[in-house]
Amino acid sequence: MKTNIAKLYYRKLGTGEPLVILHGLYGSSDNWMSIAKALEEHFTIYMIDIRNHGKSEHLPSHTFDDMSNDLYHFLKELQIEKTNLLGHSMGGKLALYFALQHPEMIDHLIMADIVPRNYRDSPAKSNQADQHREILEGLLSVDLQKYKTRKEVDQYLQDKITNEALRDFLLKNLKTNTTEGRLEWKLNLQILLDSLGGLMSSVNYADLEKMETIPPLDITLIRGLRSGYVAEEDVVKVKNIFPSLRLFNIPDAGHWLHAQQPALVIDAILETTNNK
């Protein structure tokens, strides 16, 4: 009988107390390798490919409940009873969702450039939901039977995704099926598009307000000051929910702060986990 628990691919390195890292939408464990290598003297690090990403299993649903169940079974299988949990973007919402469900399994929770906001309600000029929909529709429009190389796909996508750095990041999700000799996506694109509304709107302030009790999580927010994902009003709201919140502002960094200012992100992780 087919289960809805995804088999998760992961990378492991380092020694010390556990640190689980959850990537964002379109990402993979690869994205955090340089950060992990800088932290390997302090932690045993588990970098996970979330379902429908990277080398993890593709399944026909992609909700925070799905991903949280995957993570719970992953930790139990590896006999990790308590961990530091770091999540970026979608992975940060997942980290918060999981921590609210299983606070006894969390030492420190670190959310990287994400808050429990309904991002579908963002102003039109900065509506992340619309931006992600355009990205996914652009990737889905690629007829991979027509192309043999990543460069050819890049040329096709130039008009649909004009940001070159973003295209480079997205194209890391292309792989060659060696058996059939053709390109294919590591991402389960259609399922991600079908699930996008829930990913952008779920785990929001209203959801937290409905909870009878909110566990007193040891929580840190790392924010890129050039990102549109965490506004000043968000910081106030999160502090109202978690009064002990620690905030680290990363200058000259947007949403991909771990790639743009890795040294400052590493310092924030070490300081918040008392490993500096």
The yes-or-no verdict on residue 190 having pLDDT over 80 is yes
Assigned token pair, 29:
């464990």
Residues 172 and 206 in one domain: no
pLDDT for the residue 125: 47
Q: Does the residue 2 lie in any domain?
A: no
Residues 91 and 180 in one domain: no
Q: Does the residue 4 lie in any domain?
A: no
50-101 pLDDT tens trace: 999 999 999 999 999 999 999 999 999 999 999 999 999 999 999 999 999 9
The 3-state DSSP class for residue 258 equals helix
Q: Does the residue 267 lie in any domain?
A: yes
Question: C-alpha 265: how far from its chain's center?
Answer: 15
Q: Smallest Cα–Cα separation from 204: which of 108, 105, 129, 255? A: 129
Residues 68 and 168 in one domain: no
Percent of the chain clearing pLDDT 70 (strictly above): 97
- What is the rounded average pLDDT of the residues 172-183? 88
Residues 99 and 206 in one domain: yes
Task: Provide φ and ψ at 154, rounded to 5°.
Answer: -60, -45
Percent of the chain clearing pLDDT 90 (strictly above): 89
CATH number of the structural domain spanning residue 63: 3.40.50.1820
Residues 116 and 128 in one domain: no
- What is the rounded average pLDDT of the residues 102-127? 87
pLDDT for the residue 123: 60
The 3-state DSSP class for residue 40 equals coil
Domain with 184, as residue range(s), is: 124-195
Number of domains present in the structure of the chain: 2
225-274 pLDDT tens trace: 999 899 999 999 999 999 999 999 999 999 999 999 999 999 999 999 97
The yes-or-no verdict on residue 1 having pLDDT over 50 is no
pLDDT for the residue 275: 60
Assigned token pair, 192:
């991600």
Sheet with 219-224, edge to edge strand ranges:
10-14, 43-48, 17-22, 83-88, 106-112, 219-224, 246-250
Q: Does the residue 148 lie in any domain?
A: yes
Q: Does the residue 3 lie in any domain?
A: no
Q: Does the residue 1 lie in any domain?
A: no
Task: Provide φ and ψ at 113, rounded to 5°.
Answer: 55, 50
Q: Does the residue 229 lie in any domain?
A: yes
Q: Which residue has the higher pLDDT, 128 or 20?
A: 20
Residues 37 and 99 in one domain: yes
20 strand-pairing partners:
46, 85
pLDDT for the residue 3: 75
- What is the rounded average pLDDT of the residues 12-28? 97
Residues 205 and 268 in one domain: yes
141-172 pLDDT tens trace: 999 999 999 999 999 999 999 999 999 999 99
Residues 113 and 152 in one domain: no
Task: Provide φ and ψ at 273, rounded to 5°.
Answer: -100, 10
- What is the rounded average pLDDT of the residues 193-206? 95
pLDDT for the residue 258: 94
Q: What is the pTM of this model?
A: 0.95
Task: Provide φ and ψ at 195, rounded to 5°.
Answer: -95, -5
Among 180, 195, 210, residue at a domain's last position? 195
Among 138, 171, 195, residue at a domain's last position? 195
Q: Which residue has the higher pLDDT, 128 or 206?
A: 206
The continuous run of DSSP H or E covering 110 comes out as strand 106-112
Residues 94 and 150 in one domain: no
Among 160, 195, 230, residue at a domain's last position? 195
Residues 113 and 129 in one domain: no
Query: How far is 46 from 14, CA to CA, in rounded Å?
Result: 9
102-114 pLDDT tens trace: 999 999 999 999 9
Q: Is 38 exposed, middle or buried (0-12, 13-18, 19+ CB in 10 A)?
A: middle
Residues 52 and 129 in one domain: no
Residues 139 and 114 in one domain: no
Pairing of strands 10-14, 174-177: unpaired
The length of the chain in residues reads: 276
pLDDT for the residue 120: 87
